[in-house]
A and B are shown apart, each in its own frame.
Chain A
């Protein structure tokens, strides 16, 4: 059946265009009566004489409200509703089913197949007007909701692009792997989460024999912790440390950093592990602040966690952080790592944990440092069952030459 269209004239004053109603009914007399009523109510009205033509009109005109007969040739009302509800582009259109089928089970069928409301063909003009206005209010709300959802989606996309950009910036600050000091090899992995945390690690070359190493984590997620970490990394540069601390002692460095980086107004803070490797004295000095620490894997196979129970930076300006010292020898390996490398769950909710991480590194044994780093991350991925970690994952390993 051919499609007919009629519309009210556009308002020359520039007010919003009238809402549109599509009337789909194969009976022309009833359709004409309804169309005339809707026009008197100020709506723009389009018409179709069967379900198939109605669906075409709906796709083309996107009316806010469709008033639909139940029994029609080509495509009946309930089938029309099903088509509309399966099409994401048409879902916001409200459907008012006109019928003399006023039995509860038939109304239930209509609702189940996608109608939003019903209107008896014998309804008074007052009821018709009220139902149409109610349907139009619902359509307006649904469309506003859709618009708001789309706006949120676009903002989320922009935010994710910013986070990816920030992650690339953080990566640009990381040290190049390889020989970082004569006799010291370094390899690392950095896997920023979708939300981007504030993990950052680097090396500080004090002299030909002494090397500083750190891995820090700014609390929170997003661009802000990444920028705070970058700011902290500036403080941890050699010239800055010499100026502010005057020493390469890890405890002294963290004690000064604790003063320089108090809690933010929103309560954010840093955790950090800082180590100094002295090749001449064969010692490894370290201090931690609220950090899960580091792992020393000795050539003998022994594993030692370097953990000090103390506050993160910024909580108490009077806190002193103490340096601990361990002997280190040829073939020993030091791993600095973020808590994101062990505080993540498998599908059943069980955390991977420090124990499994330690066993993984032990099992990889004397394989090349880079392989140990790569395979440790791969094992973590296997545990959680997917590639994307919930938090930043950072792992930096160094090996003292034999």
Chain B
């Protein structure tokens, strides 16, 4: 999958007024914290803790919004709404989709990061 289909670099950069230094730091933070949020959501899901799943996915959603990543954001919203409704019946499936999309986003962000942020 191409980078543009995973997230919109131009749109995400515009959200921070083309401040490339800030955007680079955002990528660093997401690479560090995004996987942790996923682990927290997985643990809560395994424990049948709907509130915990909702909290973790909500937190993750805040980051995904910054990167204009529609597929990951959609998957995250689906899991959060389901967990908020106390319904974890499809939790594993929703989580799997989310994990897949977040991993794709992480790969895409690492590529951008590794290429450097010079304009």
Contact = CB atoms under 8 A, between A and B. Distances in A.
A8 to B, nearest CB: 15
B55 A29 contact: no
A121 B62 contact: yes
Contacts of B61: 100, 121
A29 B66 contact: yes
B74 interface: no
A279 B34 CA distance: 104
A29 B63 contact: yes
B93 to A, nearest CB: 22
A29 B19 contact: no
A32 B22 contact: yes
A37 interface: yes
Nearest to A100: B61
A121 B19 contact: no
Interface in B52-79: 54-55, 58-63, 65-66
Contacts of B62: 25, 27, 29-30, 69, 121
Contacts of B59: 26-27, 71
A125 interface: yes
A13 interface: no
Contacts of A26: 59
Contact of B25 (A32, A71, A73, A121): A32
Most chain A CB atoms below 10 A, which of B30, B33, B58: B58
B65 A30 contact: yes
Contacts of B54: 71
A122 interface: yes
Interface string A116-130: 000001100100000
Contacts of A37: 16-17
A122 B64 CA distance: 10
A40 B30 contact: no
B53 to A, nearest CB: 12
A100 B57 CA distance: 12
B54 to A, nearest CB: 8
B30 to A, nearest CB: 5
A25 B58 CA distance: 12
A33 B22 contact: yes
B15 interface: yes
A37 B23 CA distance: 11
Interface of A: 25-30, 32-33, 36-37, 40, 69, 71, 73, 100, 121-122, 125
Given A30-B62, A37-B17, 15 more contacts: A27-B62, A27-B63, A29-B30, A29-B66, A32-B22, A32-B29, A33-B15, A36-B19, A36-B22, A40-B17, A71-B58, A71-B59, A73-B55, A122-B65, A125-B14
